[in-house]
A and B are shown apart, each in its own frame.
Chain A
């Protein structure tokens, strides 16, 4: 858990990635492929447990057309993304987006076991 996470103030959807601006002035880019590969839903998460399955997930994600997602805020703690194809189930907590922005493993190296968070 990142202790001093700044607040996300701007989420700009570009052609293949999103540009993020935080209230401490820092800026980041996350590609849609990275974002989709990191989907936290109960179906995608377990796929990242093993290298092979994770690569399969990666290939699936990369095969999708590059498109801007619909973005919805979920409460004050997360974002949801709606894609025209592929998985749209995951709710990304701001901590998760912050980890991705900083090129950190949002799963923290922990394999996904139902409930082992």
Chain B
């Protein structure tokens, strides 16, 4: 470590200091590195205005899709955004952000994020892997140490939002992050309308209490499939939906219409939110474009910045921003 003040020989040779044994030397260096990391974490805390964790109980419900979507929707507003992908076993954020195959970029001992779509800064555990197809199995302490290092050593610069994507389940990672990173605004819980996922998101909400990080709200993912079509301008359109329901829409002046079909049970996320007294941030449609985007590296919000999914994300983001209101901003009188 070049800038370590712990030098091998007494620098002020006037007063002959007791020479440290190599072991003591090592301990001092470690303590110094730890202290430096702590300080930089505090600084990161200050330079990043808002930190949001994205969690779910069950895997595969769309945390990474939601994390990247939130980040991009915030970036669309012109904000400075970063994503920290904590998932060591199956990190897929880089792929979704068009950064497949990137390696960690280290300069003067600091880790520099890669920049994905819309300038979103990305740090992923995937940047550490040699081969993305072989998920690493990390032992607990190594994994948590790596997370702390990622938090302390990344040069994010000034950010308005840092979105933190987690592996599924309520495990050690969120705890480590919550303990290392000061002033986390809260967590977003992703759920799908199915019951199992619902049960698990309930578990996440209980978990938030033990972490002492508030729930900013619940997002219901894959909640309906939207079809778009053309009909006579201003005419009413009817479609036979699931369970014998008739779905209606009215075409606009140009004859465009869209109808959302609830594939699973509707409103599951909303009822979990209501039951636990946490905000419901909104529902995101089932959109095959997300799967494509995950494969070809062009996120849905980028490929269709004004499509229904981008619009749904913008709504979720607005609801999220409403939750993150700081009292210090309230000194403003708007007339």
Contacts and interface: CB of A to CB of B under 8 A. Distances in A.
A12 to B, nearest CB: 4
Interface in B59-85: 75-80
A10 B335 contact: yes
Contacts of A80: 77, 321
A77 B75 contact: no
Nearest to B306: A43
A77 B77 contact: no
Interface in A64-113: 71, 73-78, 80, 89-93, 113
Given A73-B325, A89-B314, A9 B118 contact: no
A57 interface: no
B82 to A, nearest CB: 11
Contacts of B328: 76
Given A11-B333, A75-B326, A116 B119 contact: yes
Interface residues of A, number: 32
Contact of B329 (A45, A73, A89): A73
A91 B77 contact: yes
B248 interface: no
B334 A71 contact: yes
B78 A75 contact: no
Contacts of A12: 335
A116 B324 CA distance: 26
A7 to B, nearest CB: 6
A115 B77 CA distance: 13
B119 A76 contact: no
A19 B256 CA distance: 41
Interface string A9-40: 11111000000000100000000000000011
B14 interface: no
A41 interface: yes
Given A10-B335, A41-B76, A114-B117, 15 more contacts: A8-B332, A11-B335, A40-B77, A40-B78, A42-B75, A43-B76, A73-B329, A75-B324, A75-B325, A77-B329, A80-B77, A80-B321, A89-B77, A90-B78, A117-B119
Interface of A: 7-13, 23, 39-43, 45, 71, 73-78, 80, 89-93, 113-117
Interface of B: 49-50, 75-80, 115-121, 160, 305, 314, 321, 324-335
Closest 7 CB pairs of A and B: A115-B119, A40-B78, A76-B329, A76-B326, A91-B77, A115-B115, A12-B335
